[in-house]
Amino acid sequence: MSITYLEAIREAQAKLLRDDERVFIYGQDVGGAFGGAFKATKGLAKEFPGRVLNTPISEDAMVGAAIGAAIEGMRPIVEMQFADFSSVALNQILNNAGTHYWRTNVPVPITVRLPSGGTKGSGPFHSQSMESIYAHYPGLIVMTPATVEDAYTMLIEAVAIDDPVVYCEHKYLYYHLKADKLPSQGVPTGTARIAREGRDLTIVSYSAMLHEALAVAEQLAGESFEIEVIDLRSVKPLDTNTVLASVARTGRLLCVGESFPWGGVTAEVIARVAAEGFHLLDAAPQRLNAKDTPIPYHPNLWSAHRPNAKEIARKARALLRE
Amino acid sequence: MPQVPIIMPQLGESIAEATIVDIKVKPGDEVADDQEILDVETNKAVMGVTTPCKGKIAQITVQLKETYPVGAVLGYVEASEADAARFARQAPPQAQREVAEEIPARADQEVAPAREKKVAARDGDGARAGGLPVPVTPKGATFMSPRIRARMAELQLTTADLAGIMGTGAGNRVTIKDLENFLFKIESQTAQDASAIRTGVADAMRRSWTRPLSTIGSSVNLDPVLQDRQSRDPKPGPGLYALRALALALAETPGAAAKLIGNRVVQSTSIDVGIAVEAEDGIMVPVIRSAEKTSLVDLATKYKELIELARQRRISPDMQAGGIATVSNFGTFGMEWGTPIPLPDQTLLLGLGAGKKVPSWNEQKKEFVPRTEAQITLSFDHRSIDGGGAGRLLKRVIELLETPKKL
Amino acid sequence: MLQTAQRQSKAKKPSPPHERFLEAYRWMLLTRTLEEKLVSLYRGGLITGGVYIGKGQEAVSAACGLFLQKGDIFAPLIRDQAGRSAFGEPLLDVTRTYLGSRQGPMRGRDGNIHRGRPQDNQLAMVSHLGAMISVTVGALMAKRFKGEKDFIGLACIGEGGMQTGAFHEGMNIAAVEQVPLVIVATNNHYAYSTPNDREFACHDLVDRAIGYGFEGYSLDGTDLSACLEVIGGAVKRARAGRPPQLVVASVLRLSGHGEHDDASYVTEEIKREPFARDCLKVAEQTIADLNLVDAKTLTEWRKEAAVKVDEAIATAQKEAPPEGDKEDWCAISVRDLVDSPE
């Protein structure tokens, strides 16, 4: 039996709907037989009538309604059709959900699923990775699962968390990533995972970039470099301790992310390591992000825009030679 | 007929590239399995590159004396289908990843130009004008990463301790791995804790050595001193005569012991001169205050006391501070001359070697006559005093030593 | 000005008051007393940040709060003090929030009209107007999911707030979800300094109701009886399961946008319009005309209101403010997931 990343998300939602009557799914095209633009809810509307609801194209109202429902005790999952469209709901997510507990002491247990990242030909408005924006504002948890197992357990955990969770699922991984089975328990959010142990260089990554980093580590192993690869799993909270411990082992750091270069996850990791682990660094820490332009449409341009294994390898080799 | 690429092999751990030193074949040549077709040189050795399979050389794409990275294509062999297929099976497997983009070997990797620093370089007066000169790259042999610095601080190492490490980082800088390997090797040798005196002397010498030190020397006739001391009680040693001579000479030209600190010339009012005294585990240098006012006899008495104190290890740091010059009589160890290192807070060190009977030309008698001669050297901080000034001082010391009645 | 003249409803002669007329009047009186006091505190430099009062809208607002019962959701906005009080908000909540007491419902973390008690169904607004409509919708959906009965939601908005995208989405989704929502939109003719002719172009905002699938009603907001009739009726219809209700009330804003604003842009002509009447004075006139209470009682009521307000202010003024270094700087409830960037 083989299960894809997308199927894991669907299974998690099925389990949530089954086990918790407070859960409902709210989003565009999620209901009926259609089951979502990416089939993440296929079959669920039928199995759980009245709990998988199609919304109008109203991202602001989708999240606003979720907030209201959460205040009244429900555990809504909002599916954004593409992460890129969540910008319409930015106000509700950042200013309403994100501030509510701090202002009123009443937490808002909503989960907003963002299909993130690019696939060839998706273009500037169907490819974005917005984890950096959401992590920047206080009051939100931001998850970035990179594996089939994490996709499953972290979504279940997201709904259980009393605070708003932005769950960034990567579209490229939907059908490309497969696992043999789903775990019954997962590692709690807030803990990064050492995906590959090493001693010469630490690559910190998350989501789809994890797999690029692992490919690079494999390649460089053939050149006798042992690269340690860390999967952050969640970018907020960010597991600084695991990163520091790794840099303590290797002395060299490369951060790789798919979002735009200014600020963001890679900058945050490096800022923390520079501040708390300066004495651990044997070379200046480096990072690699997408280019500082909107995401291009043409597959050639798209694959040049985002970090890929070739770019990561080049950067890693340069850092290893320092 | 398929063209099979000839690939630069991985010639050893951490080898990144090699230079073509011999091309043994040309297009059209038939080659057999495992035949050597090229020689390449790395920084370790010359090695042969063999053909991937038997066939005919189609082309050699590299040049003699040029350098190519591991994995680069060096040429092509035209081979049969069967032989080409064998090569494909033997070649390292491509990474079977749908997710990853193709990762080429280093051959395809262009050297990305380092991003030009947009910071404008400043001209020399930058620091004074309020701006700092900007280093172009934070690299080079002496670059010490924060990690290196932290580790050195932890182990109380100084750059002098790292002299024995050849760095493998960019520009031959010492990487943390180099340092840790070095420390590991030391652990496997016998090691014991250094005594406080040893580390103290090491630190003082390291600090002293940060200055440009120079030494001049000459010979001194010791017979007058040797004769003079017979009439004194207690008998001062030649070292004490030298101390007295130095003190008087400095009293005449105190500027010779002045210290340059920054761009100020600092002068002490008191002619305090130290004398090296050997203790059990190192040299102590107690200072005789106002040595020009201390008679030889008093010097001898004082010296005896100091020897005793040294033996009891009761010479305190206070007693060793504040001198402007020091005398070291290493002649007592049988050494003839030396280039002693002035103490870090002083600019002069007078060294007296062992006396020995030598023939000396006597101009009046027009013959060699025996005399007891010693080499006397003056080491000095060349920032504070020049060879001329040092020379004049030394000459005066010698004059005084050769007329011991004046001392 | 022609446009607004067309919108004005026909002048009414005093009709018999609604059964809750006096009850509503007393909320209006309390509110006016409170807000006048807040204004003078503000002018005395004792309040930091904005002060937003609902002078001229007390009748509409009191009616909103009055018909809500336990279990209903109330989403007041910035000029709904009367509604909040009628809904049950303690005066201390107001004074503590404005005067910066640590014991206020927002604990100093938000101020003035951004306060609320979500656990008691009074939503705490965000500044982005229109955003609370969909939140109210969601809360109503939740009640429905949970099987609750006989509940409604009432959200307040102004003619300016009605123009945001968020409002549009909220109104649309309310109708799509068929929740028992009443939106009371008060056109007080100025959105900050912007008059109606730069705010919207349709003939009458109530015309939008049909466009969204709502039932729409107009209201002379200066007439307390009318407010009670129309808003009470809307609430009743919502409880009965009718489509969502839109009530558009017409008044003039009788203050600045906030107390920092002198409203010098309000024209003299508009101040002469019928909708510019002070609803409190109109109500008092009605009381006088119909002799509903005697002057002595009125005086007592006024005194009582003043005493209540003064007490609430005095209490709040004595209380300690929050302190930066004693604050729990944590924006999430799950402490295990706190990120530590420094």
C145 chain-A contacts, CB cut-off 8 A:
22, 24, 69, 74
Tens digits of per-residue pLDDT, B64-117?
A: 999 888 778 899 999 888 877 766 545 443 333 334 444 544 444 444 444 444
Closest CA to A153 of A116, A179, A132: A179
**Cβ neighbours of residue A203 under 8 Å, at least 6 residues apart?**
A213, A216, A217, A227, A228, A229, A230, A254, A255, A256, A312, A316
- Please give the structure tokens belonging to residue B277: 């005294």
Q: H or E segment at C302?
A: helix C295-318
- Please give the structure tokens belonging to residue C113: 């009209």
Contact A162 C333 (CB under 8 A): yes
Where chain B has pLDDT below 50, the residues are 13-14, 89, 91-102, 104-128
C140 chain-A contacts, CB cut-off 8 A:
68
Strand B36-41 to strand B17-23: parallel, antiparallel, or no bridges (unpaired)?
Answer: antiparallel
Looking at the predicted structure, is the pLDDT value of residue C184 above 70? yes
Looking at residue A286, what DSSP letter applies?
A: E
Q: How far apart are CA C83 and CA C66, in angstroms?
A: 7
Provide the Cα torsion B26, B31, B34, B36; round to 10°.
-30
> What confidence score (pLDDT) does residue B159 get?
85
Q: Predicted ipTM?
A: 0.90
Q: Residues for chain B: how many in total?
A: 407
Contact A139 C169 (CB under 8 A): no
Looking at residue C301, what DSSP letter applies?
A: H
> What confidence score (pLDDT) does residue B105 get?
46
Q: Quick check: is A126 catalytic?
A: yes
Please give the backbone phi and psi of residue C319, each rounded to the nearest 5 degrees, phi first: -85, 155
Higher pLDDT, B271 or C2: B271
Contact B112 A318 (CB under 8 A): yes
From A99's Cα to the closest Cα of chain C, the distance in A is 7
Contact A99 C177 (CB under 8 A): no
**Does A have 3 or more CB contacts under 8 Å with C?**
yes
| Closest chain A residue by Cα to residue B101 | A309
Chains touching chain B, criterion 3+ CB pairs below 8 Å:
A
Q: How far apart are CA A23 and CA A106, in angstroms?
A: 18
Contact A212 B148 (CB under 8 A): no
Contact A310 B103 (CB under 8 A): yes
Those of residues 72-101 in A touching chain C at CB distance below 8 A are 72-74, 76, 88, 91-92, 95-96, 98-101
Contact A56 C332 (CB under 8 A): no
Looking at residue A96, what DSSP letter applies?
A: I
Tens digits of per-residue pLDDT, A170-224?
A: 999 999 999 999 999 999 999 999 999 999 999 999 999 999 999 999 999 999 9
Tens digits of per-residue pLDDT, A105-162?
A: 999 999 999 999 988 888 999 999 999 999 999 999 999 999 999 999 999 999 999 9
Q: How far apart are CA A273 and CA A267, in angstroms?
A: 10
From B174's Cα to the closest Cα of chain A, the distance in A is 10
Q: How confident is the model at residue C141 (pLDDT cuts 50, 70, 90)?
A: very high
- Please give the structure tokens belonging to residue C246: 């839109």
- Asked if the C-beta of B148 comes within 8 angstroms of chain A's C-beta atoms, the answer is yes
- Asked if the C-beta of B106 comes within 8 angstroms of chain A's C-beta atoms, the answer is yes
Contact C337 A190 (CB under 8 A): yes
- Asked if the C-beta of B100 comes within 8 angstroms of chain A's C-beta atoms, the answer is yes
**Does C have 3 or more CB contacts under 8 Å with B?**
no
Question: Which of B7, B145, B151, B173 is the best residue to mutate to test the A interface, defined by the most A CB atoms within 10 Å of its own CB?
Answer: B145
User: What value does the mean pLDDT take over residues A256-276?
Assistant: 96
**Cβ neighbours of residue C225 under 8 Å, at least 6 residues apart?**
C14, C15, C16, C17, C18, C21, C286
Chains touching chain C, criterion 3+ CB pairs below 8 Å:
A
Which of the following is catalytic: A126, A170, A211, A305?
A126
Contact A107 C333 (CB under 8 A): yes
Q: Quick check: is A176 catalytic?
A: no
A60 chain-C contacts, CB cut-off 8 A:
131, 134, 165-166, 169-170
> What confidence score (pLDDT) does residue C4 get?
42
Interface of A with B (CB under 8 A): 172-173, 176-177, 208, 211-212, 214-216, 218-219, 222-224, 251, 278-284, 303, 308-310, 313-314, 317-318, 321-322
- Cβ-count burial of C309 within 10 angstroms (0-12 exposed, 13-18 middle, 19+ buried)? buried
Contact A106 C118 (CB under 8 A): yes
- The CA–CA distances, whole Å, from B305 to B275, B281, B288, B291, C50 equal 13, 18, 12, 16, 86
Query: How many CA within 13 A on the CB side of residue B297?
Result: 6
Q: Residues for chain A: how many in total?
A: 322
Tens digits of per-residue pLDDT, C197-242?
A: 999 999 999 999 999 999 999 999 999 999 999 999 999 999 999 9
From A308's Cα to the closest Cα of chain B, the distance in A is 6
Question: Which of C333, C338, C340 is the best residue to mutate to test the A interface, defined by the most A CB atoms within 10 Å of its own CB?
Answer: C333
> What confidence score (pLDDT) does residue B327 get?
96
Closest CA to B239 of B157, B354, B318: B354
Alpha helices in A88-160 (DSSP H): 90, 98-104, 131-136, 148-160
Higher pLDDT, A49 or C45: A49
- Asked if the C-beta of A192 comes within 8 angstroms of chain C's C-beta atoms, the answer is no
User: What value does the mean pLDDT take over residues C274-280?
Assistant: 96
